[in-house]
Structure 1
Amino acid sequence: MTDELTHFNARGQAHMVDVGDKAETHRVAIASGLIRMQPTTLRLILEGGHKKGDVLGIARIAGIMAAKKTAELIPLCHPLPLTHLSVDFTPDEAASLIRAEARAETRGQTGVEMEALCAVQTALLTIYDMCKAVDRGMQIDQVRLEQKSGGKSGEWNRA
């Protein structure tokens, strides 16, 4: 891990990091986040009673689509050929929330952390969008990188 911000050149100007000399390796990143809601909202989602359709199915597709467009959304992010992207949801009825987890993979010269994070955030925003008519107080929390592997910096896991 470096203690320097890599997206700035010697003059302090923003630039895209040159990854041309980096070795291609299998890169994996897992990100997660959650959305808190009213128990009735969660029940509506889980029972499939939402008039807009399958909330989690649509949120999954939104997350996958977002990961594929990460370089268009984050200005200095490299466009990457994703070899795998999954978005999974775990409802917690006792806490009245849904946890989202995204796993992004590529074989390349730079990591897929941003793609995994973008997938999680967009999936959670999609749940909010689809359910805001019944619960405007939903809250998105704890969007974070859980682990990454590959590349020069190797393995990293959230403690």
Structure 2
Amino acid sequence: MTESVPPQLTHVQPDGSAQMVDVSAKPSTARTARAVSTVQTTGEVTQLLAQHGLAKGDALGTARIAGIMAAKKTPELVPLCHPLPVAKVTVDLELDAPAHGSVRITSEVKTTGPTGVEMEALTAASVAALTLYDMIKAVDRSAVIAETKVLSKSGGASGEWSRA
């Protein structure tokens, strides 16, 4: 029986200390990443969102802008992320059927650079979800931010990847 060797964590030195990965020798390529986060709430709240009926204003528009801004600030929030020239960020918020009461937040980030933008896409979806929670908490304190994850990525040495 052969023993499998665990993969080497790129952000950890042999002594266990953190390090920023050296990407200076990697070629710049077009890279895209998509991520999603879901805010679970009530049907009444999704109806209020659809009708722009919250006292705080346009919650969906505010969450979209927050997500876009967050993607651009990722290296300031996540210590070992490389600053990248973010070329495009989209954040889409989709209301589920009112009976289900959830909002699906999908982000997409594009760049041309030596490393991927998965963290920027995750940050965009996460901060949009946090912002939406902040805007709806007065009417639903039990809202939940659920299942934030990368959906797909492209570019770089590892090529295309998509969640099945």
TM normalised by structure 1 equals: 0.97
**Deviation, structure 1 residue 84:** 0.4
Distance in 2 separating the partners of 1:99 and 1:148: 19
Q: Which amino acid letter does the alignment assign opposite residue 69 of structure 1?
A: K
Q: Is residue 2:23 matched to residue 1:46?
A: no
For the residues of structure 1 that align with 2:141 and 2:84, how far apart are their CA atoms? 35
SS in 1 for 2:88: strand
Matched with 1:122 is 127
Q: Which segments of structure 1 move beyond 4 Å, counting only runs of 4 or more?
A: none
Residues 91, 124 of structure 2: 8 Å contact kept: yes
Unmatched 5+ stretches in structure 1? none
- Residue equivalent to 1:97: 102
The Cα offsets for residues 59-79 of structure 1, whole Å up to 9 and x where unpaired, read as: 000000100100000010101
**1:1-159 mapped onto 2 (5 Å cutoff):** 3-93=7-97, 94-159=99-164
Distance 1:117 1:127 in 2: 15
Gaps of at least 5 residues in structure 2 are 1-5
Distance (Å, rounded) in 2 between the aligned partners of 1:9 and 1:42: 47
Q: How many residues align?
A: 158
The root-mean-square deviation of aligned C-alpha atoms, in Å, is 1.0
Q: Which moved more, 1:34-43 or 1:57-66?
A: 34-43
Per the TM alignment, residue 133 of structure 1 is displaced from its structure 2 partner at its CA by 0.8
Larger-Rg structure = 2
1:4 and 1:90 map into 2 onto residues whose CA distance is 38
Tell me the amino acid that sits aligned with residue 29 of structure 1. Answer: A
Using structure 2 for the length normalisation, give the TM-score. 0.94
Aligned equivalents of 2:40 and 2:91: distance in 1? 18
> Percent identity, aligned pairs only?
51
